[in-house]
């Protein structure tokens, strides 16, 4: 038996209980978790904004050590450090054939399977494929990526979602160029990764926006050169900080209609807005036809940073080893499994960066 955080129904409190994991069969890997990040997507799963089969073990951002492997697994072995990949690509669907592996048709197919069982025999699903809110997990082989050399195992959990998403939002989705001005709306775990990635890209100025004045020091440490407390005048404040034009690029990390609209309004004529935050289907963003023509702006979504983890992890590892990207700077709290509900409350209240469950 291993301890895990179980969501039994939408809106229900998480239950910390023992679960029974099977031994890894062919093409499967058993991993002992070192750490798991508490991501806003986990909150979205718990409150029904995103739907998954239930009951389930939540948690999708994690890293740990391989315990055992099933037949046919050759890219990792017992004792290896690994990063969990919650959205593995199949390599054969139309999206994968186009090189858009982040849009793989089968990326979440594993979430419908039986992952483990409770002590009374109830079937459990693996959240977003990996069930990382547990001391151990068993996943498909393509859900584990070898941990790059020189990257601390515990903090490496953040590579599994926040960092790949933030880095990819800057370098793949928005394609930020050196010298471009960037505004980042929402300074949580992903927002902090976006700020560090914008700094790596050579952007400037880099403007952070959040509802909390207390996050200014956190944002500036991550690379923000300016900080704006969100208000009704945010778009005007951004234009003032960018010579009256607006930012070249806005990255929205909140997932609310009002914030997306503010991000759009904060960019210059011809600017680019990339939406990273996951909003509910009731969040409607509206534009009139004339402004679409006049402003010539681009609005685009961003899934998992439009990243290919197998290619991006080695690049990120080099930035980490060189001191250009600081994983620990994203973490504002280290907790146990019992601390996840409080971490959810902190996210709802706009407090802190990334909470990290450390096993």
Distance in angstroms (rounded) separating the CA atoms of residues 264 and 259:
9
301 forms beta bridges with: 275
Q: Beta 2-7 vs 56-57: how paired, if at all? A: antiparallel
Share of the chain above pLDDT 90, in %: 88
**What is the mean predicted confidence (pLDDT) over 176-192?**
97
Nearest to 157 by CA among 60, 56, 44: 60
Provide the mean pLDDT of the chain: 95
- Who's near 275: CB < 8 A, 6+ residues apart? 252, 255, 260, 263, 299, 300, 301, 302
Q: What local confidence, expressed as pLDDT, does residue 51 receive?
A: 86
pTM, entire model: 0.94
Nearest to 30 by CA among 84, 105, 88, 96: 84
Nearest to 308 by CA among 27, 61, 93, 87: 87
> Residue 111 above 90 pLDDT?
no
DSSP state of 323: T
- Which tokens is 183 given? 């505004």
Task: Give the model's confidence band at 304: pLDDT under 50 very low, under 70 low, under 90 confident, else very high.
Answer: very high
> Residue 62 above 90 pLDDT?
yes
Residue reference for tokens 């151990």: 136
Whether 168 and 315 have beta carbons less than 8 Å apart is answered as no
Q: What local confidence, expressed as pLDDT, does residue 116 receive?
A: 94
CA distances to 71, 121, 253 from 75, rounded to whole Å, are 12, 32, 34
**Cross-sheet strand order for the sheet of 116-118:** 56-57, 2-7, 15-20, 116-118, 123-124
Task: Give the model's confidence band at 63: pLDDT under 50 very low, under 70 low, under 90 confident, else very high.
Answer: very high
Tell me if residue 188 falls in helix, strand or coil.
coil
For 276-339, list the strands marked E by DSSP: 298-301, 331-335
The structural domains of the chain, ordered by start, are 2-160+326-358 (3.90.180.10), 166-302 (3.40.50.720)
DSSP state of 214: G
């Amino acid at each position: 038996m291993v301890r895990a955080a179980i969501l039994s129904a939408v809106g229900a409190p998480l239950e910390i209980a023992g679960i029974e994991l099977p031994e890894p069969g062919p093409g499967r890997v058993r991993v002992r978790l070192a750490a798991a990040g508490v991501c806003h997507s986990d909150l979205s799963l718990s409150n029904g904004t995103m739907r998954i089969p239930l009951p389930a073990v939540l948690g999708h951002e994690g890293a740990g050590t391989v315990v055992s492997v099933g037949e046919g697994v050759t890219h990792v072995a017992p004792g290896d450090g690994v990063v969990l990949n919650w959205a593995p690509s199949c390599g054969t669907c139309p999206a994968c054939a186009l090189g858009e592996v982040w849009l793989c048709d089968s990326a979440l197919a594993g979430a419908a399977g039986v992952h483990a069982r409770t002590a009374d025999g109830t079937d459990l699903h693996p959240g977003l494929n990996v069930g990382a809110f547990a001391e151990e997990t068993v996943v498909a082989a393509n859900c584990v990526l070898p941990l790059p050399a020189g990257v601390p195992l515990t903090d490496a959990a953040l590579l599994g979602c926040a960092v790949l998403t933030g880095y990819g939002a800057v370098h793949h989705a928005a394609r930020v160029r050196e010298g471009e001005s960037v505004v980042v709306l929402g300074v949580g775990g992903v927002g902090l990764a976006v700020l560090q990635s914008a700094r790596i890209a050579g952007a400037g100025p880099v403007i952070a926006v959040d509802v909390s004045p207390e996050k200014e020091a956190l944002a500036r440490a991550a690379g923000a050169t300016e900080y704006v407390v969100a208000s009704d005048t945010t778009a005007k404040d951004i234009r003032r900080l960018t010579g009256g034009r607006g930012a070249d690029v806005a990255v929205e990390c909140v997932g609310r209609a009002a914030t997306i609209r503010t991000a759009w309004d904060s960019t210059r004529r011809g600017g680019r807005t990339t939406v990273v935050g996951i909003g509910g289907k009731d969040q409607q963003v509206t534009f009139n036809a004339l402004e679409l023509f006049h402003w010539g702006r681009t609005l685009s979504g961003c899934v998992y940073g439009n990243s290919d983890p197998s290619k991006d992890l080695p690049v990120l590892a080099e930035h980490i080893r060189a001191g250009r990207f600081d994983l620990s700077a994203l973490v504002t709290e280290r907790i146990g499994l019992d601390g996840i509900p409080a971490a959810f409350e902190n996210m709802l209240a706009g407090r802190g960066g990334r909470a990290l469950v450390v096993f």
